[in-house]
Amino acid sequence: MAEKQRPRIRLLVGPGTLPSQGSSRMDMTLYRRSGKEQFNGEQMLAAVPEIAAVAEVVVDPGNLYAIACFADQCRLNRAIQKALDDPQVDGVVFVQGTNSMEETAYFQHLTVHSAKPVVMTGAQRPFTALSTDAHLNFYDAFRVAAHADTHGKGVVVVTNGEIHGARDVTKTNTYRLQTFRGRDLGLLGYADPDAIVYYHLPVKRHTLASEFVIREDTVLQRVEIIYIGIASQPGLARAAVHAGARGIVVAGTGAGCLGNLDAELAAIAAEGVVVVRSARVGEGRVLRNDNWQQPGMVSADNLSPQKSSLLLALGLGVSSDPEEIQRMFNQY
């Protein structure tokens, strides 16, 4: 009987904890200062040989992929898209730091055009640490990418034995391994020892159904996030506009209250800068018809401020009409 062909998965690597080397096995917090370069894809695959039984892995030669800004995300998008467009490639795994992994995942979820699996993973402890989560997260990412049921689900994040959808996942803890959560919407499934199991589907528009396309000449508009608290005083939003922001996301208190910046943000929205009301609380929807809505403003639904900034930046590449931007927030 012929051996079953393993899926071919492309591995891309960015900066982060998972591939990092500490100065000792107990170095879990100062590994960036260890003086040691992070492991490359080949070295990590050699350290976790079990992956070879799951997938045929091809390491992307373009590593290391930066992730710090819109331009980096656009370059990463083009690399992922190129890999997925190859008929010999069945899926992609991208390794990066957990701090902004939810943002990378959502940006690619909105801009990659393929039904093939795109799996992102990271770790809370470096590759060399005692009781690291890096090895198992790395292994599980390939299991999920190689699984037929992952097709069509957009970008997913795999850590700690859980599979989360890119739109809903967020980092909730600084150092604990169970940091990634879907908040009030939950997870998509599990990467358990015996099987990959899905229970939910991402229903908002993504990947093949998305209208957003990253091209070689794509330059995204500047968007800033304003965090509202009792200490927040007028001038913050105006300063962002003076610095070149064409869109502002407000991380409002409660259900999206604008606090002491209420009048300032209303004036800015009237001038044509798109203002999106999000909430800092972490769960629940921001409604458009409520106490704090001003003409021309957009409600973020239940998107976090950081993810709202990504959707707004992409949306501004299509339209600056608040009604059109609101449609996008309703659909994505």
Q: Which residues are catalytic?
A: 17
Do the Cβ atoms of 292 and 263 come closer than 8 Å?
A: no
Question: What residues form DSSP beta bridges with 298?
Answer: 276
**Residue 268 to residue 37: CA distance in whole angstroms:** 46
Cα Dmax for the chain? 73
Q: Give the position of tokens 């992609």.
A: 92
Label residues 254-274 b or e (16+ Cβ within 10 Å = b).
Answer: ebbbbbebbebbbebbeeebb
How many Cα atoms within 13 Å fall on the side-chain side of residue 127? Answer: 26
Question: What residues form DSSP beta bridges with 253?
Answer: 257
Tokens of 326: 């609101």
Do the Cβ atoms of 225 and 309 come closer than 8 Å?
A: yes
Do the Cβ atoms of 307 and 213 come closer than 8 Å?
A: no
